[in-house]
A and B are shown apart, each in its own frame.
Chain A
Amino acid sequence: MTTTTRKAPPVAPEHPGVPSASEVAALIAEAPVPRPTLIRTFNAMMAREFRVLRRNAIATFTRAVMQPLLFVFVFAYVFPKIGGGFNLGGGAAASQATGSINFATILVPGLMASMLLMQGIMAVTFPLVMEFSWQRTIEDRALAPVPIRVLAIQKIVAGAIQSFIGAVIVFPIVLFVHAAGQAPHVHVTNWALFALILIFASLLTSALGLLLGTIMDPRKMQMLFAVILLPATMLGCVYYPWSALHHIRWLQIAVLINPMVYMSEGLRAVLTPVLPHMPMWAVLFALIGGTVVFGYLGTRTFTKRVLN
């Protein structure tokens, strides 16, 4: 267990780290007067997140890049080369409506939405489950001089920033990785709306991540993929526009409970308006409403878990 103290030769009775009385007196006399404010503590917690992100930069970056890179490589490079594959899914329906739209164009908004969810959960749920497990390291920050819900909100904001970055990383990838002539037709029609959608989509996924992290049983983490991530992505209008689902009316209605649908469709509306998409009021209502609902529930369950 302790290596340093055991290695110490028996002739040296001095104990490591035992301060002298004068040192402790100085420690107390020179102690800075704490004057925490909500903002200061919040900022310090955010600074801590960025320090950790920077330290794990390579792992974080790899995590954020690999998924979109592989998706785009297969759908926008491999399929067009081997022929026809990209007409699967919504391709056909989209083509009917708009003429010749390549699959990359359909995929960009969906891929961003899928990245938002994935990064939101990776950035919030996984660390949280660790912090709540055996050593309960969460207690460290729970003892900071702010209400526990501020800590929950801080986690949502920090997660949202990561999920935002995760979504934006999709851009350079789709612009550079594709077969000749398969570049997606992407252009932002309304920057303010685009930013609004991205910000609320990030906050929503991060709040969902917090909720999942506080209600998940750590021993059943693999369920997260089976029950949340996979269905949300596969049935989240990532690979097809929502309107194309009118062929399967019951599914078109059923997927409306999936927050991913509104992210994909909202981004589709501002990035690739040539494609059919949901009305903007529905998208904004769902994203903002979802953020409020998940944020409220997540903060509540988080506070309950911390204060047992």
Chain B
Amino acid sequence: MTDAAGPAIRTEDLRKTYKSSRGDVPAVRGIDLSVGSGQFFGLLGPNGAGKSTTIGMLTTLVLPTGGRAWVAGLDVVADPVGVKRRIGVVTQNNTLDMQLTVAENLEFRSRFFGLGLREASRRASQLLEVFGLADRRKAMSTDLSGGQAKRLLIARALVHRPDVLFLDEPTAGLDPQTRVNLWDILRVLHAEGQTILLTTHYMEEAEALCEQIAVIDHGEVLASGTVNELKAGAGAETVITVRYGDPVPGDMTERAGLAERPGVRKVEADGDYVRVFTREPEGVLGELVTAGSAAGLTVRDATQLKPSLETVFLTLTGREYRE
């Protein structure tokens, strides 16, 4: 149904500012995205970065205050009903209908999308079978475990074969095994051509699943591309951080000649820590310990991060990633 030529999702300078008694709170400040049909796209950022607001605008439940967005070629503000027909949404909260059974949740959703009684019941059975919930069909939706509820939410988002599947923090609050299990489900859906946009604050989730990632913080896209592009572009460096027992003297890093070492791109010294971004991490940690003891400092903590989305984030924002 998606226009084969156009992207499944596109935004242009998309903005949302919430009005509050203490002034305007900008949640999303001009985001440009383009998600191709069939793509598995990840919106990665810490809590409060503006991911849920963005997904809210794309799914028509949050009204943008600026810019434009199209899903399946339809403007989300001008044609919200058209957009809702073409999307499936797995909300962050458990929005299952608590008054209905597992099967009824699927049956009524099917009927909301225009299926007849018999068709809806057949579709519900099929989905329950595929998502391993057939034995819970008569249970009330409130009686499901966290993982089962998530599976039902995904099944429910798929009743009408959406062009785009949105998942807002699908694995937040799930135990590790259930999370891996959900990843498998999403991988299979993607392999069968389902366009997926997922938000997550878990780096490893974005890395494990998404073909394209947009790193977002404070309502802005910091960088986007494939995992490899992101690493190559922004942070193919190892990041080594050493915290000392006392504040670092201003000339310590210079005296140690850290910036002159081969492969080092940047040396940061602030308060009680020194951070080195380098392509050749070998020996740097030892150097930092030696430099510290020469300046009379004891080492309190040391970390060495291999190039990953986390170092990308660190490089882009200068801040450690807060999950």
Question: Which residue numbers of A lie inside 8 Å of B, CB to CB?
Answer: 1-6, 15-21, 23-28, 30-37, 40-41, 44-45, 47-48, 51-52, 55-56, 134-147, 306-308
A48 and B160 contacting across the interface, CB-CB below 8 Å: no
A47 and B108 contacting across the interface, CB-CB below 8 Å: yes
A150: nearest residue on chain B (CB-CB)? B81
Which of B97, B127, B174, B189 interacts with A137 by CB under 8 Å? B97
Question: Which residue numbers of B lie inside 8 Å of A, CB to CB?
Answer: 18, 56, 59-63, 80-81, 84-85, 87, 89, 91, 93-100, 104, 108-115, 119, 123, 126-127, 129-133, 145-148, 151, 158, 160-161, 173-175, 177-178, 180-181, 184-185, 188-189, 191-194
Provided the pairs A17-B148, A27-B127, A27-B158 are in contact, do residues A44 and B91 lie with their beta carbons within 8 angstroms?
no
A1 and B61 contacting across the interface, CB-CB below 8 Å: no
A52: nearest residue on chain B (CB-CB)? B99
Which of B80, B81, B114, B185 interacts with A34 by CB under 8 Å? B114
B130 and A137 contacting across the interface, CB-CB below 8 Å: no
A144 and B95 contacting across the interface, CB-CB below 8 Å: no
A141 and B185 contacting across the interface, CB-CB below 8 Å: no
Which residues of chain B come closer than 8 Å to A33, judged between CB atoms? 161
Closest chain A CB from B110 CB (angstroms):
8
Provided the pairs A17-B132, A18-B188, A21-B191 are in contact, do residues A137 and B177 lie with their beta carbons within 8 angstroms?
no
A56: nearest residue on chain B (CB-CB)? B99
Which residues of chain B come closer than 8 Å to A31, judged between CB atoms? 123, 158, 160-161
A40 and B114 contacting across the interface, CB-CB below 8 Å: yes
A136 and B93 contacting across the interface, CB-CB below 8 Å: yes
Which residues of chain A come closer than 8 Å to B123, judged between CB atoms? 31-32
A52 to B108 CA separation, bound complex (whole angstroms): 12
A143 to B89 CA separation, bound complex (whole angstroms): 8
A18 and B100 contacting across the interface, CB-CB below 8 Å: no
Which of B94, B180, B181 interacts with A135 by CB under 8 Å? B94
Which residues of chain A come closer than 8 Å to B104, judged between CB atoms? 51
Which residues of chain B come closer than 8 Å to A44, judged between CB atoms? 108, 111-112
B185 and A140 contacting across the interface, CB-CB below 8 Å: no
Closest chain A CB from B170 CB (angstroms):
13
A153 to B13 CA separation, bound complex (whole angstroms): 34
B95 and A27 contacting across the interface, CB-CB below 8 Å: no
Which residues of chain A come closer than 8 Å to B81, judged between CB atoms? 145-147
Nearest 7 pairs of A and B residues by beta carbon: A17-B132, A36-B114, A31-B161, A44-B111, A15-B181, A34-B160, A144-B112
A55 and B97 contacting across the interface, CB-CB below 8 Å: no
Closest chain B CB from A64 CB (angstroms):
18
